[in-house]
Amino acid sequence: MSRPFTFLEFFAGGGMARLGLGAGWACGFANDFDAVKAATYRANFPDATGHFREGDVWQVTAADLPGQADLAWASSPCQDFSLAGGRAGLAGGRSSAVFGFWRLVGALGAEGRAPRAIVIENVTGLLTSNGGADFAALGRALAAQGYAFGALEIDAAGFLPQSRPRVFVVAVLGAPPPGLTGDSPFHTRAVKAAAAGLPPDVADGWVWWRLAAPAWRNTDLAALLEPDAQVVWHAPERTSRWLALMAPLHRAKLAAQQGRAVGAVFRRTRVEAGHRVQRAEVRFDGLAGCLRTPRGGSSRQAIVVVEDGRARTRLLTAREAARLMGLPDGYLLPKAATSAHHVVGDGVAVPVVRWLARELLEPLLAPAAAMAAA
């Protein structure tokens, strides 16, 4: 029997990337500085005592990391990739978390233990921030350590009833093996524009990873919700306040629904006539909007059910949010709803990771893993 693939998980949160990688992968090290996320990780992975480190990634050293891992996974805070200022790239020594991670990659490389592959997962703005300079700096840093790299923009909506586009930068030491490059539906317009904007010396290391689209999901938002009788609905006055925040277009969407219709409602700040106003927006396409942390750019999503001409609203429960990330119902969530939404909203969609692992990462790493096991 072949050995499992090994991985290091930085900014691990509640361990959603680990769940997505699956049973064929062994975690050698995981790290997160957030106490709530760390407690959630430990609650769901009994072996965490042996490999999980709670605390600042800057306090981790190469000596804390075992062997040469097949993969280093990093879902770092999105703002950490903003390199405005000195433009020194990831080697610039800034104090943000992603620089602490990259410092470790460099230290492992200096010892001949660099991870064979790296995945950096982030919001799609990584492709365009600072006019593409941030993405170019990331590519230059990867190339300087001997990695070939490419990006895929994957929306969790292809796997789960949640609109959640994310960028996955996949890098491999040396040249990629044959058969894993080519066209992909995940080479979106934004990915192509980012690649086209790379400086020539960075573009030399670019790879067009081949990754097929999955069979389309067969569940919608309504299928993942709790029964009506088991959840707490808003009082009519609170529902009226939600509806009052809707612009005419979204009120018309409500009025157009026939029979029983289930939708997602989320609040956004819009600029209208030169003024910032809060609006509630509704969708009835079977998808939830992108889940966020409670302190993020938008508040907790609400569910609206229109039936017999009457609209009822309520907040999305933590368990429903977990299902929208592909977490099983046996996954242990923090008891406080705000903490649970914080862990879930800051994570990575589990089925997306599984698809990426099965269709690209495992074929990419299999030859090196076989040699290491020999």
Question: Helix 337-345 vs helix 35-44: angle between axes, to the nearest 10 degrees?
Answer: 80
Strands 5-10 and 71-74: parallel
Query: Which residues have C-beta within 8 Å of that of residue 93, sequence separation ≥ 6?
Result: 99
What is residue 80's predicted lDDT score, i.e. its pLDDT? 58
Reading the block at residue 322, the tokens are: 């977990």
Query: Which residues have C-beta within 8 Å of that of residue 230, sequence separation ≥ 6?
Result: none
Q: What is the DSSP track for 174-239? A: BSPPTTSBS--TT--HHHHHHHHTS-HHHHTTB--B--PPPPPP---GGGGSPPGGGSPPPPHHHH
What is residue 267's predicted lDDT score, i.e. its pLDDT? 87
What is residue 365's predicted lDDT score, i.e. its pLDDT? 96
What is residue 368's predicted lDDT score, i.e. its pLDDT? 67
Question: Domain 5-214+347-373 carries which CATH code?
Answer: 3.40.50.150
List average pLDDT for each run of 10 residues in the chain, which is 374 residues long: 87 97 97 96 95 94 96 81 45 64 94 97 88 88 94 97 96 92 97 96 96 93 96 96 92 92 91 88 95 67 92 96 98 95 95 98 83 55
Per-residue pLDDT of 154-202, as tens digits, reads 999 999 999 999 999 999 999 898 899 999 999 999 999 999 999 999 9
What is the arrangement of strands in the sheet containing 275-283, beginning at the earlier edge strand? 275-283, 261-272, 302-307, 310-315
Let me know if 10 is exposed, middle or buried by CB neighbors in 10 A (0-12, 13-18, 19+): buried
CB atoms within 10 A of CB 247: 13
What is residue 137's predicted lDDT score, i.e. its pLDDT? 87
Q: Where in the chain is the domain with CATH 3.40.50.150?
A: 5-214+347-373
Strands 25-32 and 5-10: parallel
The answer to whether the predicted template modeling score (pTM) of the entire model surpasses 0.75 is yes
- What whole-number distance in Å separates Cα of residue 355 and Cα of residue 213? 9
- What whole-number distance in Å separates Cα of residue 109 and Cα of residue 107? 5
Please identify which residue in the block is written with the tokens 């044959």: 178
